[in-house]
Structure 1
């Protein structure tokens, strides 16, 4: 039995199947998926259908594209022209698939394996315990009757920094942005959203979230996706960047947690634009 963490799939179903063949994924293995299962790629429906069919062996942390699709499905917002998940929204089993996806967490930890996974990042001021408590706040609302209202208020860059005094949807939005959108932040956890490229694009006064001496990074090894421009390279021994830009024509990557061995397959084409 092995546990494999796979980076952002984004509807690249064919590449996912190739990667599973490469790792000889078996019925005793487990998958950790770092979010952004859908959108930009051509086969969001096939991807979610397949993952749902093996859901007992799949653990997901929700990404910003997953939340966006759920928001569109709920009717809270209109789809973007660039969205490629319309067939999934209209699928006969859409309600069942969306319910499953909406029930997935923002953060997971396996103490025995010594790994934590999140889609984007964890602010440096949060311990692992506090990070899980904050994730649970959003997950509870997301899975409740307040979910549609949350989706309406989810979008936006403010507040850009955590405060225990934050309340309501401002609080939930900030937590969600940390877990699903953050790349750069300062030592106090203030996020900067305009820079999305390589580390060379680092804004003055900000560092990649994992370059700070964060509390969580002292407690657990951390896996994340979201940041394709890193090409799978982070600057810490206990941090693993596994979004290698399959949807942009690069690679889809799996990390075997037991020995940290990496496996990759090439993208069949560039889907994103």
Structure 2
């Protein structure tokens, strides 16, 4: 019974299949955790969504910013750009079913027994664990409701960038969404910087990666995240696992087997590979 944590798939279906084959993944026995950004940029977003959905309870995923952007495109809020390679998915006969399944997925995974958290971008340094859970539930509730397009239409924007428990409505949801799905750098006080996307050594002072600001959450839990391909899986402190290694950008797809902390990686494949083949 293995727990397998995989970084951003971004439509790289063949690579996901080959990576899971390396660890002999069996959905009847093992659990697959996915950091989000299942779709966009890579060649086979449709196959990825169909496959992940088919795994049922064997998968635990978190939504990423590209997954939310797909929902916004479907809702007519954002434009479908050719570089995202989403047209086959949007034109598929089961697109409605896949979208309705996707918008009911979580933005946060927590395993208390393992003391493990997964979120696409990370956990805001300004949050305690109760706030983390509460904000995740609020996003998930509105995404699964009939008014989800209203939320998607308002999620774009970089403000507010400082947490206040008195935040309410769409401003509160926007901050939480940015923290869970877009955050990279913070100011020393934990306020989010939503502009810099570089590697930490090139970031202007006083910005720090969110995971370099110690909080009660990071002291109690290990955190696995994706989103930040420029890190190439490096530079995070002990207990913080950066799993996006930029497969869709010509890098690799990375998996961590949690049980023994063994890493697996898969470079781009030019042909379809099935588990067990």
TM-score bin, normalised by smaller chain: over 0.9
Distance 1:219 1:73, change over 3 A: same
| Other structure's SS at 1:236 match | coil
Q: Does 1:95 align with 2:96?
A: yes
Larger mean CA deviation between 81-90 and 135-144 belongs to 81-90
The correspondence of residues 51-200 of structure 1 with structure 2, limited to 5 A, is: 51-200=52-201
Deviations 1:123-182 (A, max 9, x none): 112122210111111111111122011111110111121112222111101100000000
**Alpha-carbon separation, structure 2, partners of 1:217 and 1:130:** 14
The correspondence of residues 233-244 of structure 1 with structure 2, limited to 5 A, is: 233-244=234-245
The structural deviation recorded for 1:77 is 2.3
| TM-score normalized with structure 2 length | 0.94
**Which 5+ residue runs of structure 1 have no aligned equivalent?**
none
Check whether the contact 2:236–2:242 (CA below 8 A) recurs between aligned residues. Answer: no
Larger mean CA deviation between 255-264 and 196-205 belongs to 196-205
The structural deviation recorded for 1:189 is 2.2
* Residue equivalent to 1:24: 24
The structural deviation recorded for 1:53 is 1.2
* Residue equivalent to 2:267: 266
Larger mean CA deviation between 29-38 and 164-173 belongs to 164-173
**Alpha-carbon separation, structure 2, partners of 1:188 and 1:72:** 35
Check whether the contact 2:42–2:84 (CA below 8 A) recurs between aligned residues. Answer: no
The structural deviation recorded for 1:111 is 1.1
**Alpha-carbon separation, structure 1, partners of 2:97 and 2:225:** 27
| TM-score normalized with structure 1 length | 0.95
Check whether the contact 1:253–1:262 (CA below 8 A) recurs between aligned residues. Answer: yes
**Alpha-carbon separation, structure 1, partners of 2:57 and 2:82:** 34
Q: How many residues align?
A: 269
The structural deviation recorded for 1:87 is 1.1
Check whether the contact 1:141–1:150 (CA below 8 A) recurs between aligned residues. Answer: yes
Check whether the contact 1:123–1:214 (CA below 8 A) recurs between aligned residues. Answer: no
Provide the alpha-carbon RMSD of the alignment.
1.2
* Residue equivalent to 2:45: 44
